[in-house]
Amino acid sequence: MTRSIFRRAVAPVLALFVLWPSTGAGQTIVGPDSVLVSELDTLIRQTNPELRAREAALAAAEARVRAAGSYGPVVLSAELEEVPNGLDVGQGGSFRLDLSRELFSGGLPAARRSLASRAVDRARRELTLARRSLLARADGALGRYLGGLAVSRRLAAQDSLLAGAQDAVTSRFAVGAARYVDVLRLRTERLRTQVEAAQARTEALQARRSLLGLVGPEDSIVAVFGAKLDRLALRAPLLLERFSFPSPPALDSLVAASASVQLAEVAVQQADAGVRLAKAGQRTRVGLSLGVQRFGDEANGHVVGPTVGASMTLPFTARGAGRATIEAAEHERVASTAELRGNRARATAVLGAARDRYEAAIANARLFESALLQGAREERENALAGYRVGSLSLLELLDFERALTQAEISRTRSLVTAAEALAELLAGAFEVPGRSGPATDLSGGDL
């Protein structure tokens, strides 16, 4: 009963339906619940520290694209020769001032921009995947929270019934119409019920704490998020009754959308860009310089005239180093391609197993018939009334109540298990490894 399930029940905004629209949504509940779920999503997306960090990483990668591939600045150079006594600069025999710049770089700037763009693609995918994984895990935590509340409330209802039975048996015992062992049996049953209810509430509080940890650390945001959780929790039993589970997405689609495969695809693209950059770095680059020169003439005067110069790199003079650089980049591409194949195989195995667990959880949840449980609930008050008038024994009443409670709790837990299996499937598929800094120098230096 994760928020994945709630959003399928209350608002079709789940990442599952964005990625696999053919899955189809289940029953939809209109009204305040859909608004609350949407507001919870929005708060997590807007305030989660991990998402904020990945957004900053994306902005940094985009800034590196703007910086990568540009030509270097114009270089100003000066040269002074034949200075008398080494001090009389004005009587120097030759003075030259040049402005130079690289005009042709053999495709190096474009290759650098391409590599920087691949880094942006990776950062953007990491942000999208991290958001989907985070929301899926939030679904699981919300399911545990509401499921724990539903279980504790059901046990509280059982305790209320047992309290009524205890009042009745205590009255009978006072007039000698009941045994003391019946009083002890009811007390023991109530104690067991209260302990289980406390455990369920503890599970709900732990899940709630996990949910609160998904939003920003500001107290005001945590307070708003907690208030929305409390409002949604008031309708937990009703929402549980309306859950509907979608068919799991096709395994091929799930593998293709998984983080390990998507990021490995970007790594292959980055390796391709790295090969292009390595090859561009070994091409001839041409520079041009323009300037002015003053030099002495035969009459001991000075003449001023323009200067023009050109320069070019000679890659063949470092052919061995250039070839090694290109080979290293090509080996990196081969390694990235092999890693992509390996990631696809691992994702197929891992996500296939998670998908099987989800299907099994759905099948188990569907074993419980809502109509049968509803009919049994209606018999609950009749059973209590029968016990009070003596037509139903205490043992029969306790057995009936315990069986009904366990059936309803088992159904609730089966819903939680199925919804957590879906959240685990999606969160595992979209899990992104920890961020690391850029591995490539995009500052414009040569390879």
Q: Is the pLDDT of residue 397 over 80?
A: no
Instruction: Answer yes or no: are the C-beta atoms of 115 and 438 closer than 8 Å.
Output: no
Q: Is the pLDDT of residue 123 over 70?
A: yes
Q: Output phi, psi for 216, to 5 deg.
A: -60, 160
- CA-wise closest residue to 135 among 256, 38, 222, 240: 38
What pLDDT, on a 0 to 100 scale, did the predictor assign at position 434? 62
Please say whether the dihedral angle defined by the alpha carbons of residues 39, 45, 50 and 52, taken in this order, is positive or negative.
negative
Instruction: Answer yes or no: are the C-beta atoms of 197 and 159 closer than 8 Å.
Output: yes
What pLDDT, on a 0 to 100 scale, did the predictor assign at position 57? 93
Q: Is the pLDDT of residue 130 over 60?
A: yes
The pLDDT tens digits of the residues spanning 321-334 come to 889 999 999 999 99
Q: Is the pLDDT of residue 336 over 90?
A: yes
Q: Which CATH architecture has domain 3-69+106-282+319-430?
A: Up-down Bundle (1.20)
From the centroid of its chain, how far is CA 85?
73
6 is written with which tokens? 């709630």
The whole-number average pLDDT for the span 311-317 is: 87
Instruction: Answer yes or no: are the C-beta atoms of 423 and 146 closer than 8 Å.
Output: no
Please name every residue paired with 100 in a beta bridge, in sequence order, or none if there are none. 75, 289
* Better-predicted residue by pLDDT, 351 or 249: 351
Q: Which of 9-23, 95-109, 352-366 has the highest mean pLDDT?
A: 352-366
Q: Is 338 helix (H, G, I), strand (E, B) or coil?
A: helix
Q: Percent of the chain beyond pLDDT 90?
A: 30
What pLDDT, on a 0 to 100 scale, did the predictor assign at position 258? 92
The whole-number average pLDDT for the span 347-375 is: 82
Residue 196 pLDDT grade (very low, low, confident, very high; cuts 50, 70, 90): very high
Please list, residue by residue across 222-256, b when 16 or more beta carbons sit within 10 angstroms of its beta carbon and e when fewer do. beebeebbeebbebbeebbebbebbebbeeeebbe
Query: Whole-model pTM?
Result: 0.76
- Name, in order, each residue with C-beta under 8 angstroms of 71's C-beta and a sequence gap of 6 or more: 101, 102, 105, 109
- CA-wise closest residue to 160 among 353, 381, 421, 431: 381
Q: Is the pLDDT of residue 240 over 60?
A: yes
Q: Is 4 helix (H, G, I), strand (E, B) or coil?
A: helix
Residue 90 pLDDT grade (very low, low, confident, very high; cuts 50, 70, 90): low
From the centroid of its chain, how far is CA 381?
47
The whole-number average pLDDT for the span 212-224 is: 90
Q: Is the pLDDT of residue 352 over 70?
A: yes
Task: Give dist(CA 226, CA 39) in Å, integer.
Answer: 12
Question: Where does 315-393 have alpha helices with state H?
Answer: 319-365, 370-389
- CA-wise closest residue to 418 among 372, 336, 354, 340: 354
Task: Give dist(CA 281, CA 61) in Å, integer.
Answer: 22
What pLDDT, on a 0 to 100 scale, did the predictor assign at position 371? 54
The single-letter code of the amino acid at 289 is S
The pLDDT tens digits of the residues spanning 7-63 come to 333 332 233 333 333 333 332 333 445 677 778 888 999 999 999 999 999 999 999
239 is written with which tokens? 């929402």
* Better-predicted residue by pLDDT, 297 or 266: 266
The whole-number average pLDDT for the span 371-381 is: 64
Angle at 15 between CA 19 and CA 202, to 5 degrees: 150
Task: Give dist(CA 169, CA 316) in Å, integer.
Answer: 103
- Name, in order, each residue with C-beta under 8 angstroms of 227's C-beta and a sequence gap of 6 or more: none
Q: Is the pLDDT of residue 243 over 80?
A: no
What pLDDT, on a 0 to 100 scale, did the predictor assign at position 443? 36
Instruction: Answer yes or no: are the C-beta atoms of 318 and 333 closer than 8 Å.
Output: no
Task: Give dist(CA 194, CA 282) in Å, integer.
Answer: 77
The single-letter code of the amino acid at 374 is Q
Domain locations in the chain? 3-69+106-282+319-430
Q: Is the pLDDT of residue 80 over 90?
A: no
82 is written with which tokens? 């034949």
For tokens 């019946």, what's the residue? 182
Task: Give dist(CA 190, CA 157) in Å, integer.
Answer: 11
What pLDDT, on a 0 to 100 scale, did the predictor assign at position 31? 41
Q: Is the pLDDT of residue 87 over 70?
A: no
Pairing label, strands 286-296, 302-312: antiparallel
* Better-predicted residue by pLDDT, 390 or 183: 183
* Better-predicted residue by pLDDT, 79 or 424: 424
Instruction: Answer yes or no: are the C-beta atoms of 13 and 45 closer than 8 Å.
Output: no
For tokens 């789940």, what's the residue? 14
Angle at 284 between CA 282 and CA 287, to 5 degrees: 130
For residue 396, give the H/E element and its range.
helix 394-430
For residue 111, give the H/E element and its range.
helix 108-174
Question: Where does 175-250 have alpha helices with state H?
Answer: 180-212, 219-233, 236-241
For tokens 């703007």, what's the residue? 66
* Better-predicted residue by pLDDT, 447 or 199: 199
Instruction: Answer yes or no: are the C-beta atoms of 287 and 100 closer than 8 Å.
Output: yes
Q: Is the pLDDT of residue 1 over 60?
A: no
Number of CB atoms found within 10 A of residue 339's CB:
16
Radius of gyration for the chain, computed over Cα atoms and rounded to the nearest angstrom: 37
What pLDDT, on a 0 to 100 scale, did the predictor assign at position 16? 37
